Chains A and B, each alone.
Chain A
Amino acid sequence: MGRMNTVIRNATSSAVSVSGLRKTYGEKVVLDGVDLTIGEGEVFGLLGPNGAGKTTIVRILSTLIPADAGTASLLGHDLRNEAGAVRSLIGVTGQFSAVDKLLTGEENLFLMGRLQHLPANERRARASELLERFDLVEAAKRTPATYSGGMTRRLDIAMTLMGRPRLIFLDEPTTGLDPRSRHTMWQLIRDLAAEGVTILLTTQYLEEADQLADRIAVLDRGRIVAEGTPEQLKRRIPGAHILLRVADAAALDAAARALPEGSRDVNELVLRVPNEGGIRSLRDVLARLGDGVAVEDLSIHTPDLDDVFFALTGNPSKERN
């Protein structure tokens, strides 16, 4: 029975299926053959530096611009031939908040409800539910001119949710938010995911993708250079290590003799020792070091998505300028 379910689920469980997506603007190739599959109910993180093509993917999949080549199917509907059906199932929150600045928060939600053709009672119920959930009850009767960045962003996402979309695009949802608003936004996204909504999230923040996404694709110069769960991606990059900082060159020599596998940085007076085995190998390193070497400072480093990202996309600073 369980096996049956799995088979059926697999047959219908792809919310987004993209193959060979290409887009060029004049000479500039923005998307160079992108393939993506997002399962239903999955939070999929599209990670990449500025200019990698993240927003272009969102704009194509949300029916705003046509692709030059490639096919895409969203929730069983062909993007090119059934754009209307796709639009009735998706919700899009773009990179810049698209709220009506002359309407109040509540009126913005009502406007979306009307355009979604919700009956009046359902419109009111859904709007007050979303105002409550996005902590905008106090602000409901005010215009967004009086809102903070985080509040405007929350209103924007609430507007996207008025029509209960099954697939949501969030294009850099926390860019420009302060840390506190970012954490609030993360919790809202987790809540959405818990309801079973499929989410395609773009971000330049590795921590954000790590926190929220079930699977991540790393996009660089219009190509997907890596894909997998955050854990899978981290495993691709070895590099867990311990850094030992010592007081002088003599201490560095002593430390290097005790731990010959380490590599030393004479200028920084630092010894970098590989540490793939976690706590157990840490204990071993400390034992071999003994009491003879004066260690000023010790820090443990595990590879994070930053390491993966930099390893896959090259020098990030060169990329962003």
Chain B
Amino acid sequence: MTTLTIAFQDATTMLGRELKHTLRFPLLIVSTILVPVVMLLLFDYILGGTIGQGLGAAAHGAPYVDFLVPGILLMTVASGCGPTAINVNTDMTGGIIDRIRTMAVSRGAVLAGHVGGSVVRALVATTVLTGVALLLGFRPKASIPDWLAVVGIVMAFSFALAWLSAALGLVAKSVAGANGSTLPIQFLLPFLSSTFVPADSMPAGVRWFAAHQPFTPVVESVRALLTGTPVGGTAYVALAWCAALALVGYVWAQAAFRRGTQ
């Protein structure tokens, strides 16, 4: 067997374990679905009437739910950061990572398993969310290639955030700390972006931040694809952000993994 085959085999083993964990302890994935569902209901039913009226041209004549759902889908991806950081931290503080570091297992396998598991969970969670959104009256105008592009962006974003969450999980001292350190990604970034309302409507400072953080281009790309409006260059900005976040997360996580517990 070549080194690459072994690395792939080890990563598959760890992914299998991670998926088994998710099925054994489904609370984590259920919570990553529940929070976005609550957000969807809150913003669509309670706040949607007023917000929808204020949207104006940004809504392209569609109801607020069509504007909202793409953002909620990516918020669902972001809420997967918590479980990923928690699972990685449990392995770190529980000695599993140290145990595997003393074995002839390819170095990246443990984290690759976690990241793979995170992407799979994100796909499941966003699928459920899409179903709920359709029941609430969400009417996407995407073609099949558009849908495939959406799936691609969701996976890329989930992959990037998962590496970042893995790093956060490795450096945190406890499970609670691991979860806490992902909260800015789960809540702060979505709210300070065009997830719920267009960034143009925000105060100058916040608007600048919203325009220069990853959520806004990612959300706007998915929104354009799902509402059938032109995507333009935003998609490249979104993918560049995904690549950059994934790289930072990967390098950071690998360094923390090699250090192990101190």
- Please say whether chains A and B are actual partners in one complex: yes
Complex Cα–Cα for A87 and B99 (A): 11
- A203 sits at the interface (CB 8 A): no
Query: Hey, which chain B residues are within 8 Å of A84, CB to CB?
Result: 104
- Are A115 and B260 in touch, CB under 8 angstroms? no
- Are A102 and B25 in touch, CB under 8 angstroms? yes
Interface residues of B in 86-119 (CB under 8 A from A): 94-96, 98-105, 109
Which residue of chain B lies nearest to A89 when distances are taken between CB atoms in the complex?
B104
Partner of A102, one of B10, B21, B98, B102: B21
- Are A117 and B1 in touch, CB under 8 angstroms? yes
Interface residues of B in 1-42 (CB under 8 A from A): 1, 6, 9-10, 13, 17, 20-21, 24-25
Query: Hey, which chain A residues are within 8 Å of B17, CB to CB?
Result: 100, 103, 111
Which residue of chain B lies nearest to A63 when distances are taken between CB atoms in the complex?
B102
- Are B102 and A117 in touch, CB under 8 angstroms? no
Which residue of chain A lies nearest to B23 when distances are taken between CB atoms in the complex?
A102
Interface residues of A in 93-134 (CB under 8 A from B): 94, 96-98, 100-103, 107, 111-112, 114-117
- A174 sits at the interface (CB 8 A): no
Shortest beta-carbon distance, B13 to chain A, in Å?
A: 4
Query: Hey, which chain A residues are within 8 Å of B102, CB to CB?
Result: 62-64, 87, 90-92
Asked whether A94 and B98 contact (CB < 8 A) given A84-B104, A163-B103, the answer is: yes
Asked whether A115 and B96 contact (CB < 8 A) given A64-B260, A102-B21, the answer is: no
Shortest beta-carbon distance, A260 to chain B, in Å?
A: 59
Partner of A103, one of B6, B20, B94, B95: B20
Interface residues of A in 24-82 (CB under 8 A from B): 62-65
- Are A65 and B20 in touch, CB under 8 angstroms? no
- A184 sits at the interface (CB 8 A): no
- Are A116 and B101 in touch, CB under 8 angstroms? no
Shortest beta-carbon distance, A66 to chain B, in Å?
A: 10
Complex Cα–Cα for A101 and B1 (A): 31
Asked whether A65 and B95 contact (CB < 8 A) given A92-B102, A102-B24, A163-B103, the answer is: no
- A187 sits at the interface (CB 8 A): no
Partner of B103, one of A65, A97, A100, A116: A116
Shortest beta-carbon distance, A89 to chain B, in Å?
A: 9
Query: Hey, which chain B residues are within 8 Å of A62, CB to CB?
Result: 102
How many residues does chain B have at the interface if contact means C-beta atoms less than 8 Å apart?
23
Asked whether A92 and B13 contact (CB < 8 A) given A102-B24, A103-B20, the answer is: no
- A88 sits at the interface (CB 8 A): yes
Query: Hey, which chain A residues are within 8 Å of B104, CB to CB?
Result: 84, 87-88, 116
Interface centre among A90, A91, A114, A116 (most CB of B within 10 A): A114
- Are B95 and A96 in touch, CB under 8 angstroms? yes
- Are B96 and A100 in touch, CB under 8 angstroms? yes
Which residue of chain B lies nearest to A115 when distances are taken between CB atoms in the complex?
B105
Complex Cα–Cα for A84 and B13 (A): 19
Query: Hey, which chain B residues are within 8 Å of A112, CB to CB?
Result: 103
- Are B20 and A115 in touch, CB under 8 angstroms? no
- Are B25 and A87 in touch, CB under 8 angstroms? no
- Are B6 and A117 in touch, CB under 8 angstroms? yes
Shortest beta-carbon distance, B64 to chain A, in Å?
A: 41
- Are B20 and A98 in touch, CB under 8 angstroms? no
Complex Cα–Cα for A107 and B25 (A): 16
Complex Cα–Cα for A37 and B109 (A): 34
Shortest beta-carbon distance, A84 to chain B, in Å?
A: 6
Interface centre among B100, B101, B104, B105 (most CB of A within 10 A): B104
Shortest beta-carbon distance, B256 to chain A, in Å?
A: 14
Complex Cα–Cα for A65 and B102 (A): 10
Query: Hey, which chain A residues are within 8 Å of B100, CB to CB?
Result: 115
Query: Hey, which chain A residues are within 8 Å of B96, CB to CB?
Result: 98, 100
18 A–B contact pairs at CB < 8 A?
Answer: A64-B98, A64-B101, A64-B260, A87-B102, A91-B102, A98-B94, A100-B17, A101-B94, A102-B21, A103-B17, A103-B20, A107-B20, A112-B103, A114-B9, A114-B13, A115-B100, A115-B105, A116-B103
Other contacts beyond A87-B103, A98-B94, A98-B96: 15, CB < 8 A: A94-B99, A97-B95, A98-B98, A100-B17, A101-B94, A102-B21, A102-B24, A107-B20, A112-B103, A115-B13, A115-B100, A115-B109, A117-B6, A117-B9, A159-B99
Task: Sort A-B residue pairs by CB-CB distance and give the 3 closest, nearest first.
Answer: A98-B95, A88-B104, A98-B99
